Structure formats: C-alpha cells, structure tokens
Structure 1
Amino acid sequence: MEHKTKKELKSWGKALIIALGIAFVARTFLFAPYTVKGVSMEPTLHDQEKIFVNKFTMNDRYHRGDIIIIKGKEKNYVKRIIGLPGEKIYMENDKLFIDGVLSKEPYLSQNLKLAMEDGSKLTGDFGPITVPQNKYFVMGDNRLKSEDSRNGLGFIRKQSIVGKSEFVFFPLSHFRDVD
C-alpha cells in the first residue's frame, strides 16, 4: 500500500511539474495578461481593465487597427497601429490619409463627437510622414490625452511590440473582444 502511495505521489509530482512548465512557456512566449494604465485608449479600453495579449503573431504580422502592447524603457504602452512600414501618413481636419487615401477610423466616432461639441479637433494636423521600414506609427484612441508616435514615443520598432490585445477579461462585467 505504501509503495502505491509513493508511486502515485511521484506521478502527481511529475504531472504538476509538466503543467507548471507548460504554463510558464505559454505565459512567457504565447499569452499574457496586462493591465491598462491611463486613459489614452478610451473609450475602447479603460484605466485598470485587464486585457489578454497574444504574444504569438504569425510571421510578426501586424495590421492597421491592431491594438498592441509596446515595451517601453520604463513602462509598457497600449496603442493602436495607425501606420505600417513604408506608408506615408498625414492628418488633416481630423481625417487620416494613408498614401493619399482617406482611411476610416470608426473607433474614434465617440471621441470625435465630443471634440466637435467642444469646437476643437481630436487630432492635430500633422505630416506627411513616411513610416520607416520595420517600424510602426501608433496613436491612442483618446488622441487629446495620448502619448504616442506624434509626441514622445516616435516610431515603434517591431522588436518593441510585446503582442496584440485580444480581449478584456476583467472586470468580468466588461468582458469583451478588443477591436
């Protein structure tokens, strides 16, 4: 009986070590939780919401509109990709142009409405700017209160991107996909 218990404990111990190893690898290389800090992504993401981040992006392919986590020197940032490598972007009268073509930003509709009610612009005019190869131009959705590629972060290197935000998981009442 005692031999069976030792064997059973050894088996459980091995299973626990394997499970912890798998969890460590998944957390380190594939998925991770992050906490949103600040209001730069409102109303899409709110201060202190917890988001699930996919660290494994096929061929490191990121697309315009993806919400990403950026590894900074002192802190991480949550921003939206606006300009891709090689694109020429500019902003005029709260309209984004990419390679001369108007680009729709439906995620800004609520903030644009508030800015218009105040008689101000949501995003100051800038550009044209050409995004260097292997870099991205990012902005927060709350453009008036965002440190981003326009004012401090500069262009974002692909190597600085931790991953892509997939969904909000906390608080549970806010559980949703992130677009």
Structure 2
Amino acid sequence: MPDHQRADARRNHTRILAVAEEEVAAHGADASLEQIARTAGVGSATVRRHFPTRRALLEAVSRKRIEALSDRARELTGADDSRAALLEWLGDVVAYCASARGLAATLAYDGSPPDPVHENACSAALEEAGVPLLERAARDGAVAAGVTVPDLITLAVGIALATEHHPDPAARADRLFRLTVAGLSPQR
C-alpha cells in the first residue's frame, strides 16, 4: 500500500484485506468479491481498485504465510542433511497449502502467460526461497537431476487441491506427500 495514498484509501485497503482474509478462510479462493465489498462497506469498484485481479487479492491475503514459508526455507538452508531440510520445507509448503484455504489456488500455475503487472508474486517468493535448499540437495546428490522448485511447488499445490474436500485435508495431504517422497515401491 503506497504511503502517498489518502488516509481513507489506506483505511479501505486495510478493511478490505481484513474482510478478505475472513472470507477466504471461510470460502477458499472462490470467496465472493461482492460479499467482501459489502462486508467491508465499500463498492465493488473500490475492491477492484485496490486488488485489480482475484489473484492480487489472494496474494495479499496469503502474503504473511508466504513470508513465513520463505523464512523457514532460509532457516533450513544451513541444515546438516540437505535432503531432510528440503523435504521438511516442502512438507511445510504442503501443510500450509492444505490448511490455508486459498493458498494453493494462489500458488497454482494457471497456464496463462506471465503478466508483468500482476505476476504470481507468491510463487516467485517461494521459488526464490527454495532455490538454495534445492541446489544444495542437488549438489549433495540427494535430489534427482532436473528437479526444479516450480516442480516442487506444483507438486505441493496438486496435493493440496486434490485433498481440499477431504474430511481431514491436512492429514490426507501429508499422507500423499509422504507417499510421493517414498514412491510406490516397497521399502527393502
């Protein structure tokens, strides 16, 4: 939020964001923008002025979670076991996506060409944070060649989206993540 905005515009932004956080928590990424506007006491145009796209609103709602995941990646970068550190961070990403309604949709790559104005800042932040973890694990031979952080984020998003309607999405997401890491072959 630019500092040069009028005080009422800053208040509107803060109020819209607070209402959006509640609505996304209750209804996920499909939360009604019109309901957000009504509850915030502003018009739909005001919501769109502050958040020109649904993704922009979801990214604003998810910003603190993304910062926490990015911080966690930085904390784990110096861990002794690079594979365990990468998997712990990726497990945190899966858990956040499964428990924070709307986050998986925010991180999803929707196939549209990059928009320089409204690019996927959440995915970009996670990619930047995860690269050192992945590079270290790759140098240690703990990760298959060619794996990228976008691959890992897409995997986390896919697991979260596949489990979002399960009675216990976090537990189901964790099981699928562990299965993905272990593979289908029996342990020998």
Q: TM (normalized to structure 2)?
A: 0.24
Higher RCO structure, 1 or 2 (CA under 8 Å, sep 6+)? 1
The structure with the greater share of residues assigned to strand is 1
Whichever structure has more helix as a proportion of its residues is 2
Larger Rg: 1
